[in-house]
Chains A and B, each alone.
Chain A
Amino acid sequence: MRIMALPSQLCREDEVRLPHLLPPHPRVGPPRMEEEETYLQLYLNQCAAQDDFIPPGLPLLSPVVPEDVYISDSCNPETAFNSHLEEVKETSGDFSSVDLSFLPDELTQENKDQTVIRSKHEIEENCKTQSLQRRLPLSSQQDVGLGLHSSSSSESHAPLPPGGANSVHPSEKSNSLSLASITPMTPMTPLSECSGIVPQLQNIVSTANLACKLDLKKIALHAKNAEYNPKRFAAVIMRIREPRTTALIFSSGKMVCTGAKSEEQSRLAARKYARVVQKLGFPARFLDFKIQNMVGSCDVRFPIRLEGLVLTHQQFSSYEPELFPGLIYRMVKPRIVLLIFVSGKVVLTGAKERSEIYEAFENIYPILKGFKKA
């Protein structure tokens, strides 16, 4: 059922996204659906082996990886996806300053060279490599234009929903793609303004439904690292060490999981909690996993004159230094709240998807540069 449903959803998203991309991609439209389907099926078959159920809309697959990277990737993308997103060791050379933790291990290792090669095709010398890394997350602005050829691979990437983009990896066809044909699509902000800074995710709040009534007292008694104080709060507070998270488990079977640093980790942690509950004898399942909030932070590395910012962006910002040292900026598109501090640290919150955080930061960066305190 779900497999049938997905391609049309993907197609729709693709059409929605096209107007933003320039130049327009020639091969667009329905004919790609079959290809998408096969790739989807491929991928989903892998997933089925891992999961109890197929995630709808492929939400939590590895975070956006650019088509660029995958096109040039001759390796098996399946392996890339099977892995969890662990912290990646820093890549050498140009990328040392950029944190690539959102990419799976194998990927960054193998694609170091390829990204270097590819970067030569880029327009801007300075930030091209960084912009690449930076644009990795901008799935919504990703070029469909890549891979005109058999890059049905790239095409299948483009229409995927932002958070779960590129989950479909055509392992077979990527080899034929040449780098020269990749025309990078410029995102909204011109390359010269790219920040080269990637916000780090600090906290992810997610919810899941275990779909069975729970006896909290029993859980609290038998599980280690669980606390339950019915007079104070009607839920069990459980903690696990890997990934380091905390969960609130309610008697209805609903659960809130906080503290993870990536979507995969949050999911994994939630599953672990479900497993714990299962082992205690409850018929727990793992349904409706949803990320409710994501918090990211980064540092622009220059002091910011907040008085100027609050004056020019009055409708969006509030700044009461007596109450809170940071300026609270309510961005409309995407709907993210940013806390901007004089030191140059920026905290972004309210995102449901990683791309929103990246997009918000890219939107604010040129504005912040304008108020740089020399």
Chain B
Amino acid sequence: MNTTAASPMSTATSSSGRSAGKSVSFAAELQSMMFSLGDARRPLHETAVLVEDVVHTQLINLLQQAAEVSQLRGARVISAEDLLFLMRKDKKKLRRLLKYMFFRDYKSKIVKGIDDDDLLEDKSGGSNNSNKRQKIAQDFFNSIDQTGELLAMFEDDEIDDVKQERMERAERQTRIMDSAQYAEFCESRQLSFSKKASKFRDWLDCSSMEIKPNVIAMEILAYLAYETVAQLVDLALLVRQDMVTKAGDPFSHAISATFIQYHNSAESTAACGVEAHSNAIQPCHIREAIRRYGHKIGPLSPFTSAYRRNGMAFLAC
């Protein structure tokens, strides 16, 4: 990883996709999102810019891979199936995505029942919209599932550890807030990429691609973008926690070499030096998190995950 580059993830595709003077930027929204995910009250702008870059790069790469899969099956648009296919290896993340899709179905069903007009519109629409996403997922898994593992996920009711941790963190965070702060927090939590669908579409800039994603695929991409941000914040918080040497911690002297390098480099010291004062996540935390995530460890690491061949480890899948 190039430590001196502004972003460890920058690739040619990413920078060409975002031409100089790019107008669409999610930095402000990202700051809000990071606050809702566990960052300080006012996340740093640099961190937000970095996160935006990371997310954008990852999404573009994901889209390209999805386009390849789409071409393989001869489809004209990138649809949910392609993205599900890319995620098939990681059960936990796939489960989370499925749960999200089902919740979307469920929520529209309920809200429809409440609102008079919605009910009529839906009936007039004619098609049976309820559980649409669930059906798509189920049909797809039926077709590709060889071992029955994927289909088993529909009945599976395990607790999602990561989600649990996030919930607990949010609970801790909100416990000490007063009602005004809590109102702000709630508003931040409601921010998502799917709320700003058109801006998201522009930001992604699929115009150069031959095969474009359809509506549900865009929903999933928005979700994956949010998941990436959430993962980044989770990992960065972990890194920050690690950085603080606790008295009596037997492993404090066993941190990795590259980590020490980060610590010593002029750039990071200045940034991390203020870490003790402001609680915000610093860009160095993010970079370290990504480095660790992409780091191939274990004896079989060269042979894992097909989509690592281009060196990119997707955070969301």
Interface residues of A (CB under 8 A from B): 202-203, 205, 229, 232-233, 235, 237, 246, 248, 258-259, 293, 295, 303, 305-308, 310-311, 314, 318, 320-325, 328, 337, 339, 342, 347, 349-350, 373-374
Contact = CB atoms under 8 A, between A and B. Distances in A.
20 contacts: A202-B114, A203-B115, A232-B126, A235-B123, A237-B124, A258-B120, A259-B116, A293-B113, A295-B114, A305-B182, A307-B167, A307-B170, A308-B174, A311-B167, A311-B171, A318-B106, A321-B189, A322-B190, A322-B191, A322-B195
Contacts of A305: 174-175, 182
Contacts of A295: 113-114
A84 to B, nearest CB: 21
Nearest to A256: B123
Interface of B: 36, 100, 103-104, 106-107, 110-111, 113-116, 119-120, 123-126, 159, 167-168, 170-171, 173-175, 177-179, 182-183, 186, 189-192, 194-195, 226
A322 B175 contact: no
A312 B176 CA distance: 17
Q: Name, among A233, A295, A307, the residue most crowded by chain B CB atoms within 10 Å (CB to CB).
A: A307
Given A259-B116, A349-B110, A321 B100 contact: no
B179 A323 contact: no
A258 B119 contact: yes
A232 B126 CA distance: 7
A246 B182 contact: no
A337 B107 CA distance: 11
A373 B104 CA distance: 27
Contacts of A308: 171, 174-175
Contact of B178 (A310, A318, A374): A374
A205 B189 contact: no
Q: In the A-B complex, list the 10 residue pairs whose CB atoms are closest, starting with the nearest.
A: A322-B192, A321-B189, A233-B124, A307-B170, A307-B171, A321-B190, A342-B186, A307-B174, A324-B107, A311-B171
Contacts of B194: 322-323
B168 A311 contact: yes
A203 to B, nearest CB: 6
Q: Which of A246, A321, A325 has the most CB of B within 10 A?
A: A321
Contacts of A374: 178-179
A96 to B, nearest CB: 27
Contact of A349 (B36, B114, B167): B114
A373 B179 contact: yes
Contact of B183 (A202, A203, A303, A318): A303
Contacts of A233: 123-126
A143 B194 CA distance: 51
Contacts of B100: 320, 323
A364 B195 CA distance: 30
Given A205-B113, A328-B110, A310 B167 contact: yes
Dominant secondary structure at the B interface? helix
A373 B179 CA distance: 6
Contact of A328 (B106, B123, B178, B191): B106
Contacts of B173: 307
A203 B103 contact: no
A359 B81 CA distance: 43
Nearest to B188: A321
B208 to A, nearest CB: 28
A246 B124 CA distance: 13
Nearest to B110: A337
B9 to A, nearest CB: 24
Contacts of A202: 114
B192 A248 contact: no
Nearest to B109: A337
B183 A320 contact: no
Contact of A258 (B106, B116, B177, B178): B116
A237 B120 contact: yes
A303 B110 contact: no
Given A233-B123, A246-B120, A342-B182, A318 B103 contact: yes
Contacts of A314: 159
B171 to A, nearest CB: 4
B189 A322 contact: yes
Nearest to B190: A321
B167 A322 contact: no
B175 to A, nearest CB: 7
A246 B186 contact: no
B85 to A, nearest CB: 24
Given A349-B114, A373-B179, A232 B120 contact: no
Given A321-B190, A339-B114, 4 more contacts: A203-B115, A293-B113, A307-B170, A311-B167
B114 A321 contact: no
A328 B103 CA distance: 10
Contacts of B174: 305, 307-308, 373
Given A233-B126, A307-B167, A310-B167, A323 B107 contact: yes
A172 B36 CA distance: 64
Nearest to A342: B186
Contacts of A321: 36, 186, 189-190
A323 B191 contact: no
Contacts of A322: 189-192, 194-195, 226
A19 B124 CA distance: 47
A328 B183 contact: no
Contacts of B186: 306, 321, 325, 342
Contacts of B192: 322-323
A373 B171 CA distance: 12
A310 B163 CA distance: 12
B261 to A, nearest CB: 37
